[in-house]
Amino acid sequence: MSTNTTTHLAPSSPIQFRPLSTTTILIILSTYLLLVHFLRFSRRDSMIRKFGYTKRESFKDMTNTDAQKIITHLGELEFPTFYKMSLQFALFKTYGIPTISKLLVDTKQFSSKETASKRYADTGILIGEFCSHPPLHPRVLKSISRMNYLHSGYQKAGKISNDDLLYTLSVFITEPINWINKYEWRELNDMEICAISTFWKGIGDAMEISYHVLPNFNRWRDGIEFYEDIKHWAQEYEEKYMVPNPYNKKTADELVPLLLFLVPKWALSFANDAVGVLMGPRLRNAMIYPEPSPLHQFLTLLLLQTRQFILRYLSPPRPEFMRVREISPSDDIGINERFHSSNYLVHPYYQNPGWWNRWGPMAILTRILGGYVPDGREEWKARGYRFEEVGPRGKECKGLEEMRGWEETLGRERRGGCLFAFGGVR
């Protein structure tokens, strides 16, 4: 007699995940924090090894070409937010000098949002072009030549002095150093400070700015000494000439709303005070700008310190594929010698009206906040820019002969090598 045996299978129990122990969580967290620290500081140290400027004595041999590569790394990968913001505020700071702000008001460059926005775009393009490519690149020579032409008429008329130009040059050296050291996740090292100073010394040379008023004129051994000298001179210059004036106030009243154009109305009070905090007491006084409330001062500094902490301890360094570029790469030949910018303040001048720029995530956010996105309208120069077209509308396509003369001179005299080999004479 056969016996049938029925086997009853027990229902399978669901997979159970045990919560991580406190020790495991601490190990994972510690490993992540150590990894962030390693990645951030190893990239800093690798730049020093790459360029070989390891000791102060080596700084005197820093080339203009190396300086440009170093500041490009700082602006596009290491500190893109505050490097860019510091250059914006450097230009803004010059408007606290009445001789400079008066010229801007008299030439009606801040007469409307459109003209102020166009001037910002033009200035950003010229600076971006000569910062983003090697010193002797054709686009660098063209951008400096265009800048020199635009300045030349005012210089000949006595409306722009050498001191005005020297002070403007000084803030493009001192402000990035100050802002990064105050607000970024780490301070600049000496090689980076030397690179910023050396690079802008090269731009000053190309503009034929005279340095004879600097205390240690013609005795600089390297970019560090030039930085210290021009910083000291600029501080004294500000004490004398950065004073309250209606022209200063006019430029601030026109430009600050552009800087805050996309800020929602409910946040405008705080944003205006935050700008005042970043200005500092002397510039606020010169521009007759309202004193920020104590609460807004506290919140502004708290936000800056929170960002600093997150980047320093919790965020890995920006990867290469997220490099921040506002100017097309050096190997871009453009379309009919026209180039597009990739950044704008309010009005999208020189922007490519492609699908991504109109409907990408940032474009959608800009639309939601009430801003403008690129389109094909001629007034926004959607075809891009040629160098001879950059500048006030009355000077578009003018000065071609003068630009060619400057390009020839710069091609002969501008150096990619060391700028301090002969004491940095100018």
Q: What digits encode the pLDDT tens for the residues 350-390?
A: 999 999 999 999 999 999 999 999 998 888 999 999 999 99
Residue 20 Cα distances to 15, 16, 27, 32, 333, angstroms: 15, 12, 11, 16, 55
**Cα–Cα distance, 127 to 330 (Å, whole number):** 14
| pLDDT of 9 above 80 | no
Q: Sign of the C-alpha dihedral, residues 25, 28, 30, 36?
A: negative
> What pLDDT shows up at residue 10?
54
Does residue 235 contact residue 175 with C-beta atoms inside 8 Å?
Answer: no
The pLDDT > 70 percentage for the chain reads: 95
DSSP 152-176: HHHHHTTSS-HHHHHHHHHHHHHHH
> What pLDDT shows up at residue 1?
47
pLDDT band, residue 159 (cuts 50/70/90): very high
Burial of 81 (0-12, 13-18, 19+ CB in 10 A): middle
Q: Bigger pLDDT: 256 or 422?
A: 256
> What pLDDT shows up at residue 337?
86
| pLDDT of 3 above 90 | no
**Both tokens of residue 22?**
């406190």
Q: pLDDT for 262-271, tens place per residue?
A: 999 999 999 9
Contacts of 98 (CB under 8 A, 6+ apart): 241, 243, 245, 247, 248
| pLDDT of 184 above 70 | yes
Q: pLDDT for 282-328, tens place per residue?
A: 999 999 999 999 999 999 999 999 999 999 999 999 999 999 998 88
Does residue 109 contact residue 119 with C-beta atoms inside 8 Å?
Answer: yes
| pLDDT of 15 above 70 | no
Burial of 379 (0-12, 13-18, 19+ CB in 10 A): exposed
Q: In angstroms, how far is the first alpha carbon of the chain from the final one?
A: 117
> What pLDDT shows up at residue 19?
83
E strands in 192-291: none
| pLDDT of 111 above 80 | no
> What pLDDT shows up at residue 422?
58
How many alpha carbons lie under 13 Å from residue 213 in its C-beta half-sphere? 17
Which three-class secondary structure state does DSSP give residue 267?
helix
Does residue 82 contact residue 323 with C-beta atoms inside 8 Å?
Answer: no
| pLDDT of 209 above 50 | yes
**Cα–Cα distance, 194 to 227 (Å, whole number):** 8
Pick the closest to residue 210 from 158, 172, 145, 166 (CA basis).
Answer: 166
Q: 233 φ, ψ to 5°?
A: -65, -45
226-239 in b/e burial notation, b at 16+ Cβ within 10 A? Answer: bbebbbebbeebbe
**Cα–Cα distance, 100 to 108 (Å, whole number):** 13
Q: pLDDT for 59-96, tens place per residue?
A: 999 999 999 999 999 999 999 999 999 999 999 999 99
Q: pLDDT for 226-254, tens place per residue?
A: 999 999 999 999 999 999 999 999 999 99
> What pLDDT shows up at residue 323?
94
> What pLDDT shows up at residue 330?
86
**Cα–Cα distance, 387 to 142 (Å, whole number):** 7
Mean pLDDT of the chain: 93
